[in-house]
Structure 1
């Protein structure tokens, strides 16, 4: 992963390796969850995001995407089908005020590998209040299906360029059900 020097830091901070998931339903909607900590990170207006999270040591990015999706939405691997992957890693930098709070100040932001999955289940399979079968702490307090073109406006501004790239890459996949 790349890193670059930041003002006020003697050594460059690295990016945290992470995955993101565009979960697409049969109607072409994309899952977004409202972050429970939105007020803490100053994102109340732009509190929505797609599932995302860190890659464990030795874990393949695709496996991390499936794991993170389950841990944040309760969607089981049996209810998804791979549709696509953004070929490049997409980085974003945290604003300076959040950099010291997030990940104990060890990272300047994240570099993300994005995956698209078809959602084969019904809405009842999604449970953001008891994700991972209740084994994981809830990260979202609400969820909904959004149109691809809505996504960049729902997320915090510092992640917007990543979401714009994801929309460009995955919007053509919104019609997966018609071709299945």
Structure 2
């Protein structure tokens, strides 16, 4: 996947709690079993990627109390499958290219508000292990999630061992 010019710029967020668990949201209106994922979203023209990650984190979870722990150095990309000829594909995008950010959650669970932004992305949430991610996500995103898990697994181990 060397030519990413037709892939929509996007950010993804892995939010770690103090025990090294990660935040999962269940996509609203999406049947299971592969309907859990991390917050993610598009980058506005001229927007800084880390600022976009913080914005998406707030819009989808209500979380503002987070400190940056790490970021992936390059793009992690996936293609939209042919059966998902939705709005993004219709606008000419072949897939998404993502920069991923890991944050440590410094607030408490009461801060999490899935209706903070008005547009509900998730209808439920939970904490879980990072290594569960690939089994929870829709299959076409699985190779991207494998890269995210590999990139941030050291953080999960470090936080869990504190």
Q: Same fold (TM over 0.5)?
A: yes
Structure with max Cα Rg: 1
- What SS does structure 2 have at the residue aligned with 1:18? strand
- The answer as to whether partners of 2:21 and 2:160 remain within 8 angstroms in 1 is no
Distance of 1:173 and 1:61 partners within structure 2: 21
Give me the whole-angstrom Cα distance separating, in 2, the residues matched to 1:55 and 1:2. 19
Who is 1:105 aligned against? 90
Q: Which runs of 5+ in 1 are unaligned?
A: 4-12
**Larger RCO (alpha carbons 8 Å, 6+ apart):** 2
Tell me whether 1:17 sits opposite 2:9 in the alignment.
yes
Cα distance per residue 1:62-113 (max 9 Å; x no partner): 100000000000001xx11110001110110111010x21325121110000
1:103-136, CA deviations, whole angstroms, 9 ceiling, x for partnerless residues? 25121110000000000111111011x12xxx33
Structure 2 residue matching 1:66: 3-state secondary structure: helix
1:7-156 to structure 2, matched below 5 A, reads 14-39=6-31, 44-76=32-64, 79-98=65-84, 100-103=85-88, 105-106=90-91, 107-128=93-114, 130-131=115-116, 135-156=117-138
Cα RMSD after superposing both structures: 1.7
> Which consecutive segments of 4 or more residues in structure 1 shift more than 2 A?
175-179
Specify which of 132, 147, 150 is matched with residue 165 of structure 1.
147
Give the match's secondary structure for 2:7. Answer: strand
Query: Normalized against structure 1, the TM-score is what?
Result: 0.83
Distance, in Å, in 1 between the alignment partners of 2:30 and 2:74 is 28
- Equivalents in 2 of 1:178, 1:125: separation in Å? 25
- May I ask how many residue pairs the two structures share in their alignment? 159
In structure 1, what is the Cα distance between the partners aligned to 2:60 and 2:23? 11
Unpaired runs of at least 5, structure 2: none
